[in-house]
Amino acid sequence: MTESRAWVDRIVRVTDYIQTHLDEELAPEHLAGIAEFSLHHFHRVFRGITGESVMGYVRRLRLERAAQRLKFGGESVTDVAMASGYGSHEAFTRAFTSQFGTAPSAYRERERTSFEGDPSFFLREESERHCLSMRHTGSYLECGPVWAQLERVAAGAGLMRHVLASSALCYDDPDVTRSEHLRYDACLVMPMASWPMVLPAGCTQRTIPAGRYAVAVHRGSFDTLLDTYVKLMGHYLPTRGVELVDEPVVETYLTDPARTAPQDLRTEVSVRIA
């Protein structure tokens, strides 16, 4: 592994930690320790690799999660503000308006849309899934190169014959997060028995948790995939009396886009529920 790649991996450890601990205090000193940098150097390395300051990155993720809760959840604006680490409705409104150009209540009213039901939606129990993964940051429609790289590396390590499914972890809502900040993990699902002793260069191990998932089957081009997201989380789930678990959405590709016409593609979109 090159030294530059090792530094990137250390920062990825930090961004993974931030993603799973947004409800907690995230002190820069603690985050620097996770990356194994001195605090003095950590701020510069983090900004150089991600393009954002560490606390700016944390604030953005908290506000983007708040936007998703306003869009799809039933919590009051005040409850969303408190869950996002703001001590008052007013402070949250100022920060949210600065980020999105509109007040939280107006955002909720604008973004909520009603849809007719779709028989392609269902609930399913899933077992834990283990994945060989690579990160893409940028537009979801431009993730082809990371898939090509992941499959090339997996093939070189003799792992492609063990692949059970091609999935992805999608962390951000493109209606909320700017395109250049969207996070997408391309994932090759494999049984633990076939897991390599050493991960191939540039790869990360990801685990998709076991649990109950709400699933929608999208039929058609990836260009219209967002419509299925909104139908699943904006119409189907609110009528089922469940809560969304704060985890990335899982996409599973049932057809090969290299061999399938766009209108015939089938993609499962699933979210874990409580």
CA distance 47 to 54: 7
Pair 211, 241 in one domain: yes
Q: What angle do CA 32, 33, 36 make, to 5 degrees?
A: 90
Domain ends where: 111, 143, 166? Answer: 111
pLDDT tens-digit series, residues 93-112: 999 999 999 999 999 888 76
**Single pTM value for the model:** 0.73
Q: CATH code at 156?
A: 3.20.80.10
Pair 148, 102 in one domain: no
Does the pLDDT of residue 233 top 80, yes or no?
yes
Count: domains in the chain: 2
Domain ends where: 77, 111, 145? Answer: 111
pLDDT tens-digit series, residues 106-156: 998 887 654 444 548 889 999 999 999 999 999 999 999 999 999 999 999
CA distance 186 to 135: 6
Domain ends where: 111, 129, 150? Answer: 111
Pair 132, 268 in one domain: yes
Edge to edge, the sheet with strand 165-170 lists 121-126, 211-219, 266-272, 249-253, 165-170, 183-190, 129-137, 204-208
pLDDT tens-digit series, residues 44-90: 999 999 999 999 999 999 999 999 888 877 788 999 999 898 988 89
Which residues span the domain enclosing 55? 3-111
